[in-house]
Amino acid sequence: MTVLIDIQDLHKSYDTLEVLKGVNLSVKVGEVVSIIGSSGSGKTTLLRCINLLEAFQGGRILVDGQPIGYRERDGKRVRDSERRIAKQRAMTGMVFQQFNLFPHLSALDNITLGLTKVRGLSRAEAVEQAEGWLERVGMLAHRHHRPSQLSGGQQQRVAIARAVAMKPKVMLFDEATSALDPERVAEVLDTIRGLAQDGMTMVLVTHEMRFAREVSDQVVFMNAGRIEEQGPPQRLFGSPASPRLRDFLARSGI
């Protein structure tokens, strides 16, 4: 399988606080990778670096073989132009903890906005594709509703449809179920599971250990800005090597 995301020696600091201290990770096409770890371990920051919502100071991220965010010019590391970065971001789909739907647009228009303005589809094509995705996530009946009229779970399903409709090469989920009522979690996890079964490449930051164990091909445990341990879920959850991971799993009730 070809490598889709290749993260090489990634370093990221906020002023003097180093939050990523040399992370190496590769994700192959069609793979589902879950990142677990306690708060402050850097897992969300790592995910946000992949679609350049965070700047990073050292290392490289390649998506589909192409370095993103920065380039070498005369031996110096310079940030890509905003236009270029926007194009790179379109290769990745992001689902946020707080959904971040556009509140002034209907569910349908939340999806068609990117389709018309980024992918350049006509309005009719965009509506057709958006309705297809809304049907896929079970939200077609609500296509004319505003986000404020939807439950958290419904909003998150629309947000997933919005991201996946852009035909990204990889989907990134940042604690997609953490802000939901417990009874709403399942419907969102079902939607994510469906995408995984379709062969979508995905990176998930999650606190849902059982879900991570079930859907992932690879699980990554982060601690203090580094990858402490990684491997297939059976091994990682079954026989964790590092004491920190054992500790973390015990506290997570696994």
Partner 1 sequence: MDLELSYFLSEIVANRGMLLQGAWTTVSVSALAIASGTLLGMLIGLALAYASAPLRWPARLYVDLIRGTPVLVLVLATYYMSTPLGLPLTPFQAGAVALCLFCASHVAEIWRGALQALPIGQLEAGRAIGLTFPRICLYVLFPQAMRLAMPTWVTAAAEMVKASTLLSVIGVAELLLTSQQIISNNFLNLQFYFLAGAIYFAINFCIDMLGKYLSRHLEGAGKPRSPV
Residues of this chain that interact with partner 1 (CB under 8 A) are: 51-53, 82-83, 86-87, 89-90, 92-94, 96, 98, 100-104, 106, 113-114, 117-118, 144-146, 148-149, 162-163, 166
- Shortest separation between residue 104's beta carbon and partner 1, angstroms: 5
Residue closer to partner 1 by CB (options 172, 209) is 172
Phi, psi angles (nearest 5°) of residue 11: -120, 135
Identify the three-state secondary structure at position 214. helix
Residue 25 beta carbon to partner 1: minimum distance, rounded to whole angstroms: 20
* CA count, 13 A, side-chain hemisphere, 206: 26
Residue with tokens 């589909």: 64
Smallest separation (angstroms) from partner 1 to the CB of 119: 8
Give whichever of 161 and 219 is closer to partner 1, judged by the CB atom.
161
Please report, in angstroms and rounded to a whole number, the separation of the first and last CA atoms in the chain.
31
For 105-172, give the DSSP string: S-HHHHHHHHHHHTS---HHHHHHHHHHHHHHTT-GGGTT--GGGS-HHHHHHHHHHHHHTT--SEEE
Residue 14 vs 239, nearer CB to partner 1? 14
- The two tokens of residue 37 are 């770890």
Cβ-based nearer residue to partner 1, 163 or 245: 163
Least spacing, CB of residue 48 vs partner 1, in Å: 8
* CB of 163 or CB of 222, closer to partner 1: 163
CB of 159 to partner 1, least distance (A): 8
